[in-house]
């Protein structure tokens, strides 16, 4: 409710059968202990993370790319010839 009240854009993904530590193979496989590895949830969450990272970093990656060498040379030539 707090997130909705604050109008935060969020996404919650639940993985059926997954409990705490579901990405840790050393957590065992007994869900009743509250921490257990779940290979299916681990694989799905890894893919979801990759999609999320590609989505949030795509815009910053595009804006932070250096201009092509030819553009830099052309700008330098214009600066030198006008200066």
- 31-44 pLDDT, tens digit per residue, is 999 999 999 999 99
How far apart CA 77 and CA 83 sit, in angstroms, is 10
Q: What is the mean pLDDT of the chain?
A: 81
Task: Determine the average pLDDT of the residues in 67-72.
Answer: 46
What is the pTM assigned to this prediction?
0.64
pLDDT band at 58 (very low <50, low <70, confident <90, very high): confident
Count the neighbouring beta carbons within 10 Å of the beta carbon of residue 38.
22
- Bridge partners of residue 20, in order along the sequence: 35
3-state class (DSSP) for residue 35: strand
Mean pLDDT of the region 22-38: 97
Q: What's the confidence (pLDDT) of residue 60?
A: 65
């Amino acid at each position: 409710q707090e997130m909705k009240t604050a109008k935060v854009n969020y996404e919650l993904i639940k993985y059926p059968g997954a409990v705490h530590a579901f990405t840790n193979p050393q957590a065992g496989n007994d869900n009743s202990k509250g921490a257990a590895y779940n290979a299916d949830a681990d694989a799905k969450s890894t893919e979801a993370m990759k999609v999320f990272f590609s989505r949030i970093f795509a815009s910053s990656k595009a804006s932070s790319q250096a201009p092509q060498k030819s553009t830099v040379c052309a700008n330098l030539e214009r600066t030198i010839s006008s200066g």
